[in-house]
């Protein structure tokens, strides 16, 4: 049995048609009615100019006079974000449900992406990955950093489209809509000096691992264990910025554990770059890897092995729900039914 794990970020929902970029949420949030608390209105004004929610949130915390102010601002924004994403989720699903063939094509694209994410890259990489998988039974695992249930819907309806392998439910590492949505930074050291002392209330509101540890530490432990037991990782639509430092470290530790551990990292910049010459794609990939290793702070001794373990598909995309080929259903002898998401 081999284990392939997909780490899924906001790029997945965006491809599905959910307007889930923070700038979309900021704009809608800033247009809501005035709050009874002036500092919440100040928060609404400032948030429109943010480029990195988690790290800008840490800076804003230093502008608040009390811990209660930053907690109230964050809770107000979290409530709005949940309401906003629930409506976006419904709209994106209904848009595809209106035409059963569109949804069938979407499920087919999802299944093919799972099975072929490592192909059409370079022959050496494809062959090496196939040798690792060794034609054994595959279990597909998912760790999602999204709050929506789009991924869960696709997983629940994919059985007839997946030609081989077993599929596991997704772990929502940052919680689900209407359940336990988690915002914030990775650790307390990412906070600037504050004009007040943080209590447990502030740490739970601002620091994701603190909330996860106190609320459902098994969720984090399950995700870490899934990564450790994986043979191949595929990361899609996930920036792995400083606010998710612990997961970036988990992936790096996993690569260090074995030279046979390979990561396929799909980023928009690379997958959307149309380069026809193989050597040109290899040069471009090398440049991006260098930039990633620098931003991740990878030690020099690991750069060479990581370079052979980390793969950035160039001019190739998966989960491309906006550009599904018309003939994609030709792979399947008959169309399949699907079950709509309850919420």
pLDDT digit string, tens, across residues 250-278: 999 999 999 999 999 999 888 888 888 88
User: Which pLDDT band, with edges at 50, 70 and 90, does 340 fall under?
Assistant: low
Give the domain extent around 37: 2-331
Nearest Cα to Cα of residue 85 among 32, 21, 7, 171:
21
Angle between helices 38-47 and 53-61 (to 10 degrees): 140
Write down the mean pLDDT value for the chain.
89
* pTM attached to this predicted model: 0.91
**Is the confidence at residue 330, as pLDDT, over 60?**
yes
Note the pLDDT of residue 343. Answer: 44
Cα–Cα nearest to 228, from 207, 188, 256: 256
User: Which of these ranges, 116-120, 122-126, 196-200, 335-339, has the smallest mean pLDDT?
Assistant: 335-339
Q: Reduced to 3 states, what is the DSSP secondary structure of residue 279? A: helix
pLDDT: which is higher, 343 or 7? 7
Both tokens assigned to 299: 């030690």
Contact status, residue 235 vs residue 264, Cβ threshold 8 Å: yes
How far apart are the C-alpha atoms of 72 and 42, rounded to whole Å? Answer: 12
236 backbone dihedrals φ, ψ, rounded to 5°: -135, 130
| 191 located within any domain | yes
Task: Supply the pLDDT for residue 49.
Answer: 82
Q: What is the Cα–Cα distance from 286 to 332, expressed in whole angstroms? A: 37
Report, as an integer, the average pLDDT of 167-181.
92
Half-sphere exposure of 1 (CA within 13 A, CB side): 9
**322 within a domain of the structure (yes/no):** yes
- Residue 68 is given by DSSP the state H
Residue of 189, 166, 176, 193 lying closest to 63 (CA atoms) = 193
How much is the pLDDT for 215?
A: 87
In this prediction, residue 107 carries a pLDDT of 92
Which DSSP helix (H) or strand (E) runs through 3?
Answer: strand 2-8
In a domain, 217, yes or no: yes
pLDDT at 163: 72
Phi, psi (degrees; rounded to nearest 5) at 46: -70, -40
Residue 332 has pLDDT above 60, yes or no: yes
pLDDT tens digits for range 83-129: 999 999 999 999 988 888 899 999 999 999 999 999 877 888 889 88
pLDDT at 273: 85
Write out the H or E segment, with its range, that includes residue 183.
none
Q: What is the pLDDT of residue 80?
A: 93
| Cβ-Cβ contacts under 8 Å for 222 (sequence gap 6 or more) | 171
Query: Does residue 226 lie within any of the structural domains?
Result: yes
pLDDT of the residue at 337:
65
120-163 per-position pLDDT tens digit: 778 888 898 888 887 788 999 999 999 999 999 999 988 777 77
Question: 342 in a domain, yes or no?
Answer: no
Give the number of domains in the chain: 1
Instruction: Report the pLDDT averaged over residues 29-52.
Output: 82
Residue 340, in any domain of the structure: no
Q: Which of 195, 170, 107 is nearest to 115 (CA)?
A: 107
Residue 31 forms part of a structural domain: yes
Q: What is the Cα 280 distance to its own chain's centre?
A: 28
* Other beta carbons within 10 Å of 35: 15
Q: Is residue 338 part of a domain?
A: no
- pLDDT tens sequence across 207-248: 988 988 888 889 889 999 999 999 999 999 998 877 788 899
């Amino acid at each position: 049995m081999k284990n392939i794990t997909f780490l899924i970020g906001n790029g997945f929902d965006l491809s599905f048609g959910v307007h889930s970029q923070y700038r979309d949420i900021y704009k809608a949030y800033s247009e809501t009615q005035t709050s009874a608390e002036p500092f919440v209105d100040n928060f609404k004004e400032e948030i429109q100019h943010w480029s990195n929610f988690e790290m800008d949130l840490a800076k804003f915390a230093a502008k608040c006079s009390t811990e209660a102010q930053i907690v109230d601002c964050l809770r107000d924004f979290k409530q709005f974000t949940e309401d906003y994403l629930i409506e976006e989720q419904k709209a994106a699903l209904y848009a595809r449900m209106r035409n059963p063939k569109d949804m069938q094509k979407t499920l087919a694209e999802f299944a093919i992406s799972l099975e072929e994410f490592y192909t059409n890259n370079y022959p050496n990489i494809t062959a090496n990955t196939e040798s690792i998988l060794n034609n054994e039974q595959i279990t597909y695992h998912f760790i999602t950093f999204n709050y929506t249930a789009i991924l869960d819907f696709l997983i629940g309806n994919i059985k007839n489209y997946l030609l081989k392998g077993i599929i596991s439910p997704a772990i929502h590492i940052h919680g689900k809509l209407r359940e336990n949505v988690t915002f914030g930074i990775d650790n307390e050291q990412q906070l600037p000096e504050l004009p007040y002392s943080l209590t447990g209330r502030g740490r739970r509101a601002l620091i994701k691992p603190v909330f996860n540890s106190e609320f459902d530490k098994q969720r984090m432990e399950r995700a870490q264990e899934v990564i450790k037991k994986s043979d191949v990782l595929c990361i899609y639509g996930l920036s792995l910025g400083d606010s998710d430092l612990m997961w970036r470290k988990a992936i790096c530790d996993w690569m260090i554990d074995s030279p046979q551990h390979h990561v396929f990292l799909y980023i928009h910049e690379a997958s959307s770059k149309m380069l026809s010459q193989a050597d040109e794609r290899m040069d471009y990939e090398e440049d991006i890897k260098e930039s990633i290793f620098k931003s991740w702070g990878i030690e020099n001794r690991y750069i060479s092995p990581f370079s052979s373990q980390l793969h950035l598909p160039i001019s190739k995309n998966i989960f491309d729900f906006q550009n599904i080929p018309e003939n994609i259903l030709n792979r399947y002898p008959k169309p399949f039914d699907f079950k709509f998401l309850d919420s």
